[in-house]
Amino acid sequence: MGNQYAPSFKAQYEGAYPDKELQRFCEKIVLDMAKASHRPSLPWNFTILNSSEVNAFALPGGTVCITRGLLHQLKNEAAFAGVMGHEVGHVTHKHAAQGMGRSTIFNLILAGAAVGVSQATDSEWAQLGLALGATGGQLYLLTFSRDQETQADRRGVDYSYKVGYDPRELGSVFELFKKLKGGQSQPVWLSTHPLDDDRIEDVAAYVEEKYPQVVRSNGQGLKVNSPEWDRLMANLRSDQKVYEDYDAANRAFAEAVKSGDPARLAPVLKALESCKARLPGHALFTSAVGVALYSMGQPEKAKGYFQKAASQQTDLFEPHLYLCQIAFENGDASAVHREGELAVRIFPANPLPYFIRARTYDGQGSYSEAAQQYEAVVERANDQSEEYRYSVQRLQAFQARGINW
Ligand SMILES: [Zn+2]
């Protein structure tokens, strides 16, 4: 069940972070712990998501994720192992499955997908609304009970110790969250993981009870950091500075859209171009320049950026959605369907590619095909959205005319 929805979750968080070396290094740690866990044979997989949101989560079925926004702030490699061991623990104890049915999880995804859509109708010149970063986060809000958290914390200790890390470092993650809690942007992880001082003490007490030799020897022979980790994290923290500028540009973009004043987009475009120049291999920046150009009424120029972004990062939804929309505006039906299918594969829960394809079929008089796509929109879209209202209207019209689908 979790794996079925994993692509939509990941698409919400801008897909995989492009540093393949960092991904491989972190993945090995997580998969080693998963193999040492109580459920080694699940189809475990791990992704660093390219989102500034401070979060980590696991989906039932074995999909484990951490965001760039959390990873770059972790104190050391052992802390990474601890927090990922915690997430692996939620899966091995089947916490998400308890009291959470299939439809609840699907609704959570749809609620997240609808965030991008409802912003779509705010302004005509940003009609797609999946403007820069609007797809991000605020989505996976499965909450766990305090008991489940304690259980997962203990697995974080066990699993990180099993693969050779000092398990006491899990405590540093809670210290980090405690520090962030006082800051201006609340880590989303805190909304799903209750945090109190007891928790830090509980972890220390569990280590002392279960692994007294670790405390006695002060972690002798256990790993806390490695030169490889330090090197990869130095790269990440340096890239993170560019992402902070990108986040600021995103906020300025949202403000510009809200104001309805297209002149305010020029400085946003400039800021995004600067991000792209500093990290040319990062597809998010390439795509963002495309979105700004599209919003400034330059779809043909934007197209080149979207094509480039799509080739740089194959799991990024945004460029395919915009290429689909631009093809629709140009009356290029085959490109609409090609890009639409790619977009749907990346982000199956999002209604927008279905909506663009529906109107394309509709315009060609292929009403049965159009109806199937409109139905897919109705299943996915927020019922307050323009896409939903329009799709329902067309389906009723088809029905009245006796069209079958
Ligand atoms: Zn948890």
Q: Are 171 and 202 in contact (CB under 8 A)?
A: no
Of 251 and 102, the one with more pLDDT: 251
**26-51: average pLDDT:** 96
Task: Give the tens place of pLDDT for each residue, 207-249.
Answer: 999 999 999 999 999 999 999 999 999 999 999 999 999 999 9
Cα(220) to centroid(ligand 1), Å: 28
Cα(301) to centroid(ligand 1), Å: 44
Cα(147) to centroid(ligand 1), Å: 10
pTM, full prediction: 0.88
Who's near 156: CB < 8 A, 6+ residues apart?
Answer: 82, 83, 84, 85, 86, 88, 89, 167, 170, 203
Cα(170) to centroid(ligand 1), Å: 12
Cα(40) to centroid(ligand 1), Å: 19
One DSSP character per residue, 164-231 reads TB-GGGHHHHHHHHHHHHTSSS--THHHHS---HHHHHHHHHHHHHH-HHHHHTTSTT-BS--HHHHH
- Tell me the average pLDDT of the chain: 87
Which residues have CB atoms below 5 A from the ion given as ligand 1?
152, 193
Helix axes 352-364, 386-400, angle to 10 degrees: 40
Cα(199) to centroid(ligand 1), Å: 11
Of 349 and 284, the one with more pLDDT: 284
- pLDDT of residue 399 exceeding 60: yes
Please tell me the predicted confidence (pLDDT) of residue 68: 96
What would the two tokens of residue 42 be? 């699940």
